[in-house]
């Protein structure tokens, strides 16, 4: 049936006439087309962008995978984790040990790194049955410190503070040593992760996660097995964090305990907060934002330093200050994060010029 459309009136809603329609990931044709164009743009970007920009985007995409993982745990299931840094480390070191020491191929170690991190994450998720909120946050903080200590001290396995070196993955004879090729690899994994996470929320498991977040005791009364779902949330979340850790390790080609400090954990938490808790799209926005923030500040500083020559000495402290400020401002003025801002902008234009 073809409907007449008045081109001057905005759409009034999407009407679903079948269950199949209701279950679609993209509700309208327009959405599908926009998404295809966007993915197309992402894929052709390397043709125009500089090598440096592609490197940054790769880092942003890797961070997005980790942030989506953390958002599954913190945003969807409501379990606060300050231990992401160490879980990234578990993924990175698993990849390093399996490829460099054991000699397995990257394509086998990548999922294995995810699985290993999922096991460790699930293990540290066990206390979450008894602990909530602040107590759980502190427990994950303890996990961060303890895991990092083990990594630093188990010198025979991990190389201690010196770290380990890795190589870029290969497809047959072709090595993904250029930034562009690695970018494609990471982007494809990011798209798969995004698809998985978006679909996860629409399944029984995802709905159980949301119920646990909103009120875990009520969820339990309704027949949700708290223990298995909380541990599952930790495991699924850690799986993606581990994948991100392995990708990061193969990108930088070195792993060392200092890359996985508590500051990294805080950065990841900042990503999902700035992006939007419980939003997959927000995780990506937040990850890109936090990755590009220091770069943007660097550029700003290089402009200012013409006038204030001393500013380079306090650069790192200045970055720290701005980072904290960004977190606080978002929390106070837009707790919904960038995802919420995006929605606001969209609905503003959709209803324009009659916004009320």
Partner 1 sequence: MTFFIQLLVTGIVVGSIYGLVALGFVLIYRASDALNLANGEFVLIGAYISLTIMTAYNLPFILAVLITLVFSAVLGLVVERIILRPLQNAPVISVIMATIGLSSVLGGAVHMIWGTQPKSFPAVFPATPVEFSGIIIAPVYLYSFIIVMVLLIIFSLFFKFSKMGIAMRAVADDQEAALSMGINIKTVYAMTWAIAAVVAAVGGILLGNINGVSGSMATIGLTVLPVVILGGLDSILGAILGGFIIGIIQNLAGGYLDPLVGGGLKEVVPFIIIVIILMIKPYGLFGKGGIERV
Determine whether 255 is exposed, middle or buried from the number of CB atoms within 10 Å of its CB (0-12, 13-18, 19+).
buried
Q: Closer to partner 1 by CB, 243 or 269: give it.
A: 269
Phi (first) and psi of residue 242, to 5 degrees: -65, -40
Q: Closer to partner 1 by CB, 90 or 273: give it.
A: 273
Nearest to 330 by CA among 267, 269, 274: 274
CB of 259 to partner 1, least distance (A): 17
Site for partner 1 contains 72 (CB under 8 A): no
Site for partner 1 contains 221 (CB under 8 A): yes
Q: Closer to partner 1 by CB, 321 or 351: give it.
A: 321
Q: Closer to partner 1 by CB, 233 or 270: give it.
A: 270
| Chosen residue from 80, 88, 98, 232 binding partner 1 by CB under 8 A | 80
Nearest to 80 by CA among 32, 134, 121, 23: 134
Site for partner 1 contains 143 (CB under 8 A): yes
Binding track over 178-217 against partner 1, x by CB under 8 A? -------------------------------------x-x
Site for partner 1 contains 218 (CB under 8 A): yes
Nearest to 213 by CA among 68, 76, 81, 72: 76
Host H or E run for residue 290: helix 280-304
Site for partner 1 contains 355 (CB under 8 A): no
Nearest to 196 by CA among 134, 144, 239: 239
CB of 246 to partner 1, least distance (A): 25
DSSP calls for 86-112: HHHHHHHHHHHIIIIII---HHHHHHH
Nearest to 229 by CA among 78, 65, 71: 78
User: Cβ neighbours of residue 218 under 8 Å, at least 6 residues apart?
Assistant: 211
CA 59 to chain CA mean position, Å: 11
CB of 304 to partner 1, least distance (A): 14
| Chosen residue from 324, 347, 348, 350 binding partner 1 by CB under 8 A | 324
**How many CA atoms are closer than 13 Å to the CA of 208, on its beta-carbon side?**
17
Site for partner 1 contains 296 (CB under 8 A): no
Q: Closer to partner 1 by CB, 59 or 216: give it.
A: 216
Q: Which stretch binds partner 1 (CB under 8 A): 53-61, 146-154, 181-189, 340-348?
A: 146-154
Q: Which stretch binds partner 1 (CB under 8 A): 46-54, 56-64, 191-199, 321-329?
A: 321-329
Q: Which stretch binds partner 1 (CB under 8 A): 49-57, 234-242, 263-271, 280-288?
A: 263-271
Nearest to 66 by CA among 253, 220, 260: 260
| Chosen residue from 109, 152, 158, 279 binding partner 1 by CB under 8 A | 152
Site for partner 1 contains 54 (CB under 8 A): no
Q: How do the residues of the chain divide into helix, strand and coil, expressed in percent and rounded to 5?
A: 75, 0, 20
Site for partner 1 contains 317 (CB under 8 A): yes
Site for partner 1 contains 131 (CB under 8 A): yes
Q: What is the DSSP code (8-state) at residue 255?
A: E
Q: What angle do CA 124, 108, 189 make, to 5 degrees?
A: 75
Q: Which residues would be at the binding site for partner 1 (CB under 8 A)?
A: 74, 80, 82, 127, 130-131, 133-135, 137-139, 141-143, 145-146, 149, 152-153, 155, 215, 217-218, 221, 262, 266, 269-270, 273, 277, 314, 316-328, 331-332, 335
């Amino acid at each position: 049936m073809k409907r007449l459309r008045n081109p001057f009136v905005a759409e009034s809603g999407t009407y679903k006439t079948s269950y199949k329609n209701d279950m679609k990931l993209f509700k309208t044709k327009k959405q599908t087309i926009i998404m295809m164009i966007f993915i197309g743009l992402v894929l052709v970007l390397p043709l125009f962008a500089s090598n440096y920009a592609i490197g940054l985007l790769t880092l942003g995409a890797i961070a997005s995978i980790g942030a989506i993982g953390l958002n599954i745990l913190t945003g969807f299931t409501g379990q606060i984790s300050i231990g992401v840094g160490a879980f990234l480390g578990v993924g990175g070191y698993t990849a390093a040990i399996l490829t460099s020491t054991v000699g397995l191929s990257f394509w086998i170690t990548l999922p294995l790194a995810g699985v290993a991190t999922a096991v460790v994450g699930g293990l540290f998720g066990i206390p979450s049955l008894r602990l909530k909120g602040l107590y759980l946050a502190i427990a994950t903080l303890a996990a961060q410190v303890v895991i990092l200590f083990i990594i630093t001290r188990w010198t025979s396995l991990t190389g201690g503070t010196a770290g380990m070196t890795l190589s870029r993955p290969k497809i047959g004879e072709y090595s993904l040593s250029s930034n562009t090729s690695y970018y494609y690899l990471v982007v494809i994994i990011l798209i798969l992760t995004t698809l998985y996470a978006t679909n996860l929320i629409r399944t029984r498991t995802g709905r159980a996660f949301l119920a646990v977040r909103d009120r875990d005791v009520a969820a339990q009364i309704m027949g949700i097995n708290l223990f298995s779902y909380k541990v599952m949330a930790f495991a699924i979340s850690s799986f993606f964090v581990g994948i991100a850790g392995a990708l990061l390790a193969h990108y930088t080609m070195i792993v060392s305990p200092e890359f996985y400090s508590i500051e990294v954990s805080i950065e990841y938490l900042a990503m999902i907060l700035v992006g939007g808790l419980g939003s997959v799209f927000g995780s990506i926005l937040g990850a890109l934002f936090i990755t590009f923030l220091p770069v943007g500040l660097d550029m700003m500083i290089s402009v200012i330093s013409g006038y204030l020559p001393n500013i380079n000495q306090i650069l790192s402290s200045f970055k720290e200050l701005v980072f904290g400020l960004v977190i606080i401002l978002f929390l106070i003025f837009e707790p919904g994060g960038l995802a919420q801002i995006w929605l606001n902008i969209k609905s503003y234009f959709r209803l324009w010029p009659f916004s009320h």
